[in-house]
């Protein structure tokens, strides 16, 4: 039973990390472009505008995805409460792998949003509104 609790708590760490890091990226991004902390891609580090946009966009995305993943990550373990350690380990490994894939794949929509909003040199694209 201790292994079930260990795996449950371990599997909730990634959604909790996404919620927490997403909130900080969204609401309190690093003020300056740096190579240590933050959403660091070549496109996001072009200038302060791309930096702020990427943190805002990815932060909101992580925050939403983290909350969406939290409940299923808990519910998946319920049927296996009295299961064998091997079964619980396999379920946990699959779940954490999927969570990591979602975490990494969140780069794709963020980079696409940067590409839609900024030119290759980091200049913000203008949006013309019809009157």
Residue 53 within a domain: yes
Q: Give me the sign of the Cα torsion angle 118, 120, 122, 123.
A: negative
Q: How many domains are there within the chain?
A: 1
Task: Using pLDDT thresholds of 50, 70 and 90, give the confidence band for residue 23.
Answer: very high
Residue 127 within a domain: no
**Does the pLDDT of residue 128 top 90, yes or no?**
no
Domain span at 62: 2-117
Residue 126 within a domain: no
pLDDT the model gives residue 106: 95
Residue 102 within a domain: yes
Residue 131 within a domain: no
Residue 69 within a domain: yes
Residue 88 within a domain: yes
Of residues 67 and 129, the one with the higher pLDDT is: 67
**Span 52-100, pLDDT tens digits:** 999 999 999 999 999 999 999 999 988 988 889 999 999 999 999 999 9
Residue 124 within a domain: no
**Does the pLDDT of residue 46 top 80, yes or no?**
yes
Task: Using pLDDT thresholds of 50, 70 and 90, give the confidence band for residue 131.
Answer: low
pTM for this entry: 0.87
| Alpha-carbon distance values, 78 to 1, 14, 45, 54, 81 (Å) | 12, 18, 43, 37, 6
């Amino acid at each position: 039973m201790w292994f079930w609790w260990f795996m449950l708590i371990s599997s909730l760490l990634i959604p909790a990390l996404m919620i927490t890091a997403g909130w900080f990226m969204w609401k309190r991004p690093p003020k300056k472009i740096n190579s240590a902390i933050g959403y660091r891609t070549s496109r996001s580090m072009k200038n302060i505008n791309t930096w702020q946009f990427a943190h805002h966009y990815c932060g909101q995305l992580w925050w939403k995805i983290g909350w969406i993943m939290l409940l299923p990550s808990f519910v998946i373990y319920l049927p296996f409460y009295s299961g064998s350690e091997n079964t619980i380990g396999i379920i946990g490994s699959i779940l954490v792998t999927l969570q990591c894939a979602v975490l990494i794949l969140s780069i794709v929509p963020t980079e696409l949003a940067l590409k839609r909003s900024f030119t290759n040199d980091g200049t913000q694209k203008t949006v013309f509104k019809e009157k």
